[in-house]
Structure 1
Amino acid sequence: MILCELATSAAGSGHRFDDERHWAASLALRFANRKGTTRLVQARHQGPLRVQRPFYPEGSTEACHVYVLHPPGGLVSGDALTIRAHIERDAHALLTTPAANKLYKADSQGVAWSQHTELNVDDGGTLEWLPQETIAFDGSKGSQRTHIALHGSARCLGWEIMALGRPASELPYVSGRIEQHFRLTLDGKPLWLERQPLDPAHPRFIGRWGQGGATVQATLWAVGLEDAAAAIDELREALPDNPRWAVTVRHGVLLFRYLGNSRNEAWALCEQAWHLLRPRWIEREAHTPRIWFT
């Protein structure tokens, strides 16, 4: 009787604890150029998603640095996160996070979580999307969708880093399923579309033609380089020579990939690549967000 009353009360209040639970959180940001300075002109949120105040460590007329905060620190069954950012003409925003994003093990009913990121950059706008890594716990189930819509001469550089399991705790990723979808478009036309399931039960997870048993993967992309071939040559010359990373360009998108077993190595390579690419990309030296040092 008590359990029935609790369930009825929870459903009536919008919170459920059965296999139909859905706890949503959203964040919508808009950046605009105001007299030569990029301003955060809109920050709407629902649930536990916030931003700290904008920072201008490179100067008031340079990139607006913003930290996206998710106080719970990770996603559990039923969570549904939506992050949207719109960069207007001649605005420049750098978005990052203060810590790793954690994808926790699904509950006993196997309820999935979801995370949707939508980034829109107008003609003449510039976006740097540099979140810290995502760590998937064993048994995690959910979907990640990232859509970046560029327009005209918009520029975008970003990365996504995924670590599967917790090797240091001897807790590998041996169950669960994560669906990843990535879509990058220019004026509505696709430049790069990608979908992959991260499923330890699937042959591609350990096959040499797929994941190959690797526990860490990373992708860095850059749109707006004037000479992508020269940038690739610089990366190949400057970065450590090993078989765990590769770089190429397709349809005007520079793609830097890592597939290995070290989160630290993946992060270091992506950060170094960013430092090398940024002067070529926007004629500005990379300015490391101070939150990465805390």
Structure 2
Amino acid sequence: MSLALAHTDETVQLDRTTGAARLSVENRDGRTATSDLYSAQPLRILLPRPGVGEPMTAVLANLSGGIVGGDLYETDINVGVGANLTLTAQAAEKIYKSSGVEAENRLTMQVAEGGVLEWLPQGSILFDRALFRQRVRFDLAADSTLFAGAISILGRSAMGETFASGRYREHWDLTRDGRLVWADRFELADPAGAADASSALRDVSCFATALFARPDAADDLDWARDMQAGAVGDIRCGVTAIDNNLLAMRWLGPDAMRLRNAVGTFWSAARVRWLGLPARMPVIWRI
């Protein structure tokens, strides 16, 4: 985030940040390799050595330490034909309170024929009075594979803080072979009202979404429901088959750590079954 200040008689106006990152990978003789890498501060894409049995791993880092009102971040990920990539984040993203301007994070991920993308960020923590919109778009080829998820935490519970005011919007779109398969629109514009007894978000301080997209994804609907059944009692969860090619999973709960553990347990088992990877979370996610 830029620290340049413009002083007026009544207010202090901050220069807001525009960050960008781009990564393309391709299959070179059976090995996934980088074909394009670009980043503009404060975003950066790190490429650590993957663990044993892991595919190429990319870590998206925000060097500013968080997102404030007016910031705009754009990330583009392209997985080429037959390539395999795990994408995660360096840490949970902090969304700070805003003075009145919305911040936005845009992510676009393309997966070509035979490509595999696993995307699991650390999560987003919304501070009270944050104004934030996240737009996520997945463009998949007919036979590509996607396992993607996100965790949202409403307020800093460890600090005794709740997300009592502000606005949070999350938009996801998934296309396969050019056809829109799934569109999800979430908007929380009245956090205090959402805590009302009649609200689906009553007693909820965090939630997670995951998608598994593959031509035969629906065949594992019962397996996914059985795996979710082991979640801690106060974690509500469910799985829906959108069509033969897509499973959508949800988790809601009152405690971020218990929800994170529930997601991690499910994810560890699912990445073995769906991606042929080790039964563990990526190292960076477990730190």
TM-score range normalised by the length of the shorter chain: 0.7 to 0.9
Paired position in structure 2 for 1:232: 224
Question: d(CA) in 1 for partners of 2:6 and 2:95?
Answer: 27
Q: 2:272 aligns with which of 276, 279, 287?
A: 279
Shift of 1:45: 1.2
Question: d(CA) in 2 for partners of 1:145 and 1:186?
Answer: 17
Q: 2:284 aligns with which of 269, 277, 291?
A: 291
Shift of 1:58: 3.1
Task: Give the secondary-structure state (helix, strand or coil) at the position aligned to 1:280.
Answer: helix
Q: Is the 8 A contact 2:163 2:191 kept in 1?
A: no
Question: d(CA) in 2 for partners of 1:170 and 1:203?
Answer: 19
Q: Is the 8 A contact 2:228 2:266 kept in 1?
A: no
Tell me how large the CA RMSD over aligned residues is.
2.3
2:135 pairs with 1:145: yes
Shift of 1:23: 2.1
Q: Which has the larger radius of gyration?
A: 1
Structure 1 residue runs of 4 or more that deviate by more than 6 Å after TM superposition = none
Q: Aligned letter for 1:146?
A: V
Paired position in structure 1 for 2:250: 257
**Structure 1 unaligned blocks of 5 or more:** 9-16
Paired position in structure 1 for 2:38: 44
Aligned residues: 277
Task: Give the secondary-structure state (helix, strand or coil) at the position aligned to 1:74.
Answer: coil
Question: d(CA) in 1 for partners of 2:34 and 2:197?
Answer: 45
Going from structure 1 to structure 2, the CA distance change for 1:233 and 1:257 (only over 3 Å counts) comes to closer
Question: d(CA) in 2 for partners of 1:170 and 1:242?
Answer: 20
Question: d(CA) in 2 for partners of 1:241 and 1:167?
Answer: 20
Going from structure 1 to structure 2, the CA distance change for 1:201 and 1:131 (only over 3 Å counts) comes to closer
Q: Aligned letter for 1:278?
A: R
Q: 1:99 aligns with which of 91, 111, 116?
A: 91
Q: Is the 8 A contact 2:234 2:254 kept in 1?
A: no
Task: Give the secondary-structure state (helix, strand or coil) at the position aligned to 2:108.
Answer: strand
Shift of 1:215: 1.2
Compute the TM-score of the two structures, normalised by the length of structure 2.
0.88
Paired position in structure 2 for 1:30: 24
Compute the TM-score of the two structures, normalised by the length of structure 1.
0.86
Shift of 1:73: 2.1
Task: Give the secondary-structure state (helix, strand or coil) at the position aligned to 1:43.
Answer: strand
Identity %: 27
Task: Give the secondary-structure state (helix, strand or coil) at the position aligned to 1:182.
Answer: strand
CA deviation profile, 1:261-291 (whole Å, cap 9, x unmatched):
1111121111111122122213333343222
Paired position in structure 1 for 2:64: 72
Q: Is the 8 A contact 1:231 1:280 kept in 2?
A: no
Q: 1:195 aligns with which of 185, 188, 191?
A: 185
